[in-house]
Amino acid sequence: MKPAPFDYVAPKTIEEACRILDEAGGGATVIAGGQTLMPLLNLRMSQPFILVDINKVEGLSGVSRTADGTRIGPATRQADALGDEVLVTQLPALVRALAHVGHHQTRNRGTIGGSIALGEPAAEMPATAVALGAIIEIASARGSRRVPAREFYIGPYMTMLEPDELITGIVYPDWPEAHHVLFREVAQRPGDFALVGMVGAAVVEQGRVVRAGLAWFGMGPTPVAMHQLESALIGQPLDSLSSEALADAAIADTAPFDDHHASAEYRRTVGRRIFKKTLSEAFALREPA
């Protein structure tokens, strides 16, 4: 298969990219890594009349520290982010999750922003942004705005990003150096999208959980924040935590579905099991017999 004909442009600035998107009237598609888009183009499941390559746009790649936390440019390659010292230190949960994204070859081209923008419900990066409370920076010819990741995803492959808008950064708030990382996923093969997965972080001070941010992937039409679990965790002393009881709260916000990979019941069952195991390991809890 070959893609339908399209024009190709490679803007040099954010302003130029936004102008092109605005003038296209919804007919343009942004490309950076192209790991998802290229197959869609070849299958003609996506048929833009303008392809906007943002790889040469200044300011859209790299990792930096800001007053708000750690900022990742959307065109940052996943492989580069995986080895970035700032991310390893500041966002170990993101690095842990990123190691499970695709394969070595795809991470060399795939971008952080591409995964965030696509919003695959079973992907690691959107769920990590939701879990850690990231802010999505967005620009267009109309101006700029910042959207919390927990509000960004509104349906399967549906986000609050408008056709004329461009993600310009993802900002992750700081977590204390000694925070706990929680991550586990179950997939048919390494590199496949997860059948069930969870990611997040928690902070313990003086024996109590004082901050928590966790999310599921593969457990609903979007990344699913564990709102009820977070509320149940905050303020609890570690010696009173029960992974069995907390598993009910963790699953409560999910809406798993049946597909040709797994049933909703399988996802709930496996979700409960990996949650209990992950929580018990993170906090050195004794699991019930």
**pLDDT by residue (tens digit) across 75-93?**
999 999 999 999 999 999 9
Per-residue pLDDT band for 41 (boundaries 50, 70, 90) equals confident
Instruction: Give buried/exposed letters for 86-96 (b at 16+ CB in 10 A, else e).
Output: ebeebbbbbbb
Dump pLDDT digits (tens) for 109-161.
999 999 999 999 999 999 999 999 999 999 999 999 999 999 999 999 999 99
State the average pLDDT over residues 184-195: 93
- In this prediction, residue 65 carries a pLDDT of 96
**Taking the mean position of all CA atoms in its chain, how far away is CA 47?**
25
Are 151 and 245 contacting, i.e. CB atoms less than 8 angstroms apart? no
**Structure tokens of 30?**
């942004």
| Residue spans of beta strands (DSSP E) within 105-152 | 135-140, 143-148
For the whole prediction, is pTM greater than 0.85? yes
| List of domains in the chain | 7-53 (3.30.43.10), 63-172 (3.30.465.10), 180-283 (3.30.390.50)
Q: Which residues pair with 171 in a beta bridge?
A: 71, 135
Percentage of residues of the chain with pLDDT beyond 70: 98
How far CA 252 is from CA of 57, 154, 226, 249, 271, in Å, comes to 42, 18, 8, 5, 11
State the pLDDT confidence band at 35, using cuts at 50, 70 and 90. Answer: confident
